[in-house]
Structure 1
Amino acid sequence: MTVLVPVLGDQLSLDLSSLAAVSQREAVVLMMEVSEETTYVRHHKQKLVYILSAMRHHARALIEAGWQVDYVRLDAPDNGGSFTGEIARAIEHHNPERIVVTEAGEWRVAAMLESWETLFGLPVTICADSRFICSHREFDTWASDRRELTMEFFYREMRKKTGLLMQDGKPAGGRWNFDKDNRKPAKPDLWMPRPLSFPPDAITQEIIAHVETRFADHPGALEGFDYAVTAADAERQAANFFAHALPQFGDYEDAMLTGERFLWHSILSPYINAGLLDPLDLCQRAEAEFEAGRAPLNSVEGYIRQILGWREYMRGIYWREGPDYVDRNFFNHQRSLPDWFWTGDTQMNCLHQAIGQTLVTAHAHHIQRLMVIGNFALLIGADPKQVHQWYLEIYLDAYEWVELPNTLGMSQFGDGGLLGSKPYISSGAYINRMSDYCRGCRYTVTERIGEDACPFNALYWDFLARHRDKLGDNHRLAMPYRTWDRQTAEDQKATRRQAKTFLDGLARR
């Protein structure tokens, strides 16, 4: 008896649930590079190289572990171009009696998996993805009787479930959350840890050449690609982070510095989301660093919260809210992103730095994504669906289940507050406090009016003014609205004229 076991590009784990459900003797593992998955959005070139190379290396690891693997390359002349097309070819070739697959991470792909039984007339077993800490049912049970789905309370439940940073049933240090301790600006003279670099091997070099030719119109650069593409190298990167960056990660996790692309961040999310690293294992290892006295509690708690809290929470929200979540647009924003979002050619230095490094590395850390790029997109009234698509195509770690709620919900407030109690917006003052970007900017961060005024300042107040009907009763915005109301009518008009002038010339900014 032959069992066909499709393994998708974000399921690169040797202990995948579908593999655990079959015997090696009867299984044929099918891995597919297909054009539909490489072009449904214009993925950053480095993202394509990373996924394709990681897949090919994982196929080799599966073979070394004793699995029979049918691997379909993107450039194969008879490639069907889609998962379903390749399943059809594999059924014809291997004549399996059934299909066993781990559940998909996205609605779009899940619909494909669910169609296969009817389409091919074979039993299809869809296994739960055991790599996540919280199951769909568990999240739905937690969310079902709550009026507000606050991440902090979900995170506390996950801490209790796993026992991470718990002492005698209470949170270590007497607090669940040390976020207030994690907002220090960094200075360029501080010693900076460096992530490891992994020069492309022959497999990766072949893929780089193919991507450069076939996907020449996709955004991003390929020069300098040095990400890990194997589980072993991803593990080396994790060990490097725990040894050198975790101790100061908490203090400076929100900081931004010109020319410093990584600071104390782990750069592990692409490896977790593709399956090369196990999220719970990373959390446990971070906890061990605290217990051994090698990393302070604020750093360890902050790191664990990003995985155990936000990552698991975003997955729960994505699947609970359904496929129409992508169309939510609370503010009815319709503006298109300016073309310079794909070039980084803007006079606003904070955006030039954040977008510029993204195009070079397919990476920016969470504050660059949220409080620089996302903040700006929200203030100008960009279409949240278009913003979501930009984030999905541009970042190495972006898969829709985690990126969509983060972007459309948290960053763009498109869901009207399901994920956040207020929009994540700020004037230039926040960016100036958390970075050195403003020092090298053509605009003056302390000015609101005039040709040299920081655009974030007028845009911030204009956003609050034009959305007062929807945000005026928000208690977390009471103070800024009081500040706005204390301004004279003439000052308010001048601020809004300044914002309009900027938006009218957005393409040239």
Structure 2
Amino acid sequence: MRWHWLFGDQLGPHFLDPGDDGPSRDARVVMIESRAVFRRRRFHRAKAHLVLSAMRHRAAELGDHVHYVRAETYGEGLRGLPGRDPFTVHHPTSHAAAAFVRGLDRVRVLPARGFLIPRESFRAWVDLRGGRELRQEDFYHWTRRELNLLMDGDAPAGGRWNHDHANREPPPRGCATLGAPRPYRPREDAIDEEVRADLDRWQREDGIEFVGRDGPRLFPASRREALAALRRFVDKRLADFGPYEDAVLAADPVMSHSLLSSSLNLGLLDPLEVVEEAERAWRDGRAPVNSVEGFVRQIAGWREYVWQLYWHFGDGYRDSNALGHREPLPRWFAELDADAVTARCLATALAQVRDTGWTHHIPRLMVLGSHALQRGWDPREVTDWFHRCFVDGYDWVMLPNVVGMSQYADGGRMTTKPYTSGGAYIHRMSDLCGGCAYRPGDRTGPRACPYTTGYWSFVHRHRDVLAANPRTARAVYGLDRLTDLREVLRGERGRGDLPP
């Protein structure tokens, strides 16, 4: 009997399409639900729920065509397969899973699916660059040309590759919400009830621990739900996505964001169908080019770039620590204890993660990640936290995003500067400073913003590195003029465990 193994993030129909490099047409599907995955790491409860619900929904769709195994480990599940014929599996999405698959004695590994560019094409692009830096913007242009995506002949749609000039608006002042149509939200069913009962039992009887809250499931767990979410976004929300994609509102965490990342990363949606739907909206006059380009860049630019760099940099990339940050994650952060935090921006972002396992890219980068960078927390621990605590977090997603983009632990292999700022940026791009105990402009004193003092503390600790970088040298020169900070900076070390 021929078998094809589906991992828990390979749940869409494109993982069963035989094509030229897919599974045999007569192969029977095996899916393995491994408790050891959840035993090894303390995942967000809502993430565990989503993954298990999505796997079980897919198994229900496949019916008699699937052999669904609940086992302690993948190895145990595979040993129970009838027959000894070789089985197939599409290339896994993590270094650990790929190493496990390579160690099996009767497997044929098929090319990865669920991404836009084959890895061999990316390697050819790297070779063509002849050792030049692998910057995301260059990769994005190349990808759009390769796919003829959002192009007018040889030129980018709208006459420019990047519409950031129209996509970095602060939130409308005086508005608690953006007023966008509500996003698609699924309805739980009997499968969700079963998953929640199993997770309760695992916690009660097996000692498996989680973090965060598992409220009603907020993200798609089936192909049908994912397509409904895609249609809802493109038809109702995409048009207004661009201008405020970098803005933050405390009472409106979703704004016009697509909420499709978990569906893409579970394999419920294929990225090509997603970007083509967005492009179609522009060509049909249903969405402006700046909003469509901003969304397409998130997938064809950033998501694809992160996937390719994950494999290009290799597994050793996770040990990068160019800034020598060694502080452990404080307990309040690891436990998602938003109530322990005074700074409104950090408390709001942490509460969103605690309650939903999600917040959009600016709170991730400029609130959560920036705080970790300023405090010198160990980038490996920060990466693991993001992986475990976000419903769309996977090793391939978070390793480049956190090590390279958020924590600058690779010393600039991925980005040209550290991404951190004082309170002024948060004040400009959000309403989170209103009602806060701290003032974004205060560098010292009882109401000094922890992001403002944290930013200058970071510059002070790494002044030699930052002074040598043309994009950050001005900050070092600015620090030297801030005489009010000298005493504060002399005693700033050793407080990374205290909530701001």
Answer yes or no: is the 8 Å Cα contact 1:279–1:307 preserved in 2: yes
Partner of 2:486: 493
* Structure 1 residues 322-365: Cα deviation after superposition (integer angstroms, max 9, x where no partner): 11111110111011122221212200111110010111011010
Paired with 1:84 and 1:19, the residues of 2 have a C-alpha distance of 25
Name the CA shift for 1:176/1:338 in 2 (closer, same or farther; >3 Å). same
Partner of 2:73: 82
Q: Residue 451 of structure 1 aligns to a residue in which SS?
A: coil
Residue of 361, 374, 377 corresponding to 1:379? 374
Partner of 1:228: 220
Post-superposition shift, 1:212?
2.9
TM-score (norm 1): 0.92
Q: Residue 104 of structure 2 aligns to a residue in which SS?
A: helix
Partner of 1:210: 198
Partner of 2:131: 146
* Structure 1 residues 161-186: Cα deviation after superposition (integer angstroms, max 9, x where no partner): 11111112011122111123211122
Paired with 1:130 and 1:4, the residues of 2 have a C-alpha distance of 18
Answer yes or no: is the 8 Å Cα contact 1:220–1:362 preserved in 2: yes
Paired with 1:458 and 1:255, the residues of 2 have a C-alpha distance of 22
Partner of 2:312: 320
Name the CA shift for 1:87/1:190 in 2 (closer, same or farther; >3 Å). closer
What one-letter code is carried by the residue in structure 2 that aligns with 1:493? R
Post-superposition shift, 1:192?
2.7
Answer yes or no: is the 8 Å Cα contact 1:357–1:363 preserved in 2: yes
| 1:250 counterpart = 2:251 | no
Q: Residue 425 of structure 1 aligns to a residue in which SS?
A: coil
| 1:469 counterpart = 2:467 | no
* Structure 1 residues 28-83: Cα deviation after superposition (integer angstroms, max 9, x where no partner): 211010112223321111111111111111112223xxx6211013xxxxx2x211
Paired with 1:180 and 1:38, the residues of 2 have a C-alpha distance of 43
What one-letter code is carried by the residue in structure 2 that aligns with 1:449? T
Residue of 396, 410, 423 corresponding to 1:428? 423
Q: Residue 282 of structure 2 aligns to a residue in which SS?
A: helix
Say which is worse superposed, 241-250 or 10-19, in terms of deviation: 10-19
Post-superposition shift, 1:483?
1.5
Name the CA shift for 1:508/1:173 in 2 (closer, same or farther; >3 Å). closer
Paired with 1:56 and 1:82, the residues of 2 have a C-alpha distance of 17
Paired with 1:397 and 1:116, the residues of 2 have a C-alpha distance of 28
Partner of 2:29: 29
Post-superposition shift, 1:24?
4.6
| 1:337 counterpart = 2:329 | yes
Paired with 2:201 and 2:425, the residues of 1 have a C-alpha distance of 41
* Structure 1 residues 197-217: Cα deviation after superposition (integer angstroms, max 9, x where no partner): 222100111101221332463
Answer yes or no: is the 8 Å Cα contact 2:377–2:496 preserved in 1: no
Paired with 1:505 and 1:403, the residues of 2 have a C-alpha distance of 22
Partner of 1:76: none
Partner of 2:176: 188
Paired with 2:435 and 2:386, the residues of 1 have a C-alpha distance of 26
Answer yes or no: is the 8 Å Cα contact 1:3–1:99 preserved in 2: yes
What one-letter code is carried by the residue in structure 2 that aligns with 1:432? H
Partner of 1:391: 386
Identity %: 38
Name the CA shift for 1:151/1:22 in 2 (closer, same or farther; >3 Å). closer
Paired with 1:204 and 1:19, the residues of 2 have a C-alpha distance of 31
* Structure 1 residues 438-461: Cα deviation after superposition (integer angstroms, max 9, x where no partner): 112111112110111101111111
Segments of 5+ residues of structure 2 without an aligned counterpart are none
Runs of 4+ more than 3 Å apart: 17-25, 497-500
| 1:71 counterpart = 2:98 | no
Partner of 2:347: 352
| 1:290 counterpart = 2:273 | no
What one-letter code is carried by the residue in structure 2 that aligns with 1:181? A
Partner of 2:50: 50
Paired with 1:367 and 1:505, the residues of 2 have a C-alpha distance of 22
Say which is worse superposed, 153-162 or 129-138, in terms of deviation: 129-138
Q: Residue 143 of structure 1 aligns to a residue in which SS?
A: helix
Paired with 1:259 and 1:498, the residues of 2 have a C-alpha distance of 36
TM-score (norm 2): 0.94
Name the CA shift for 1:24/1:355 in 2 (closer, same or farther; >3 Å). same
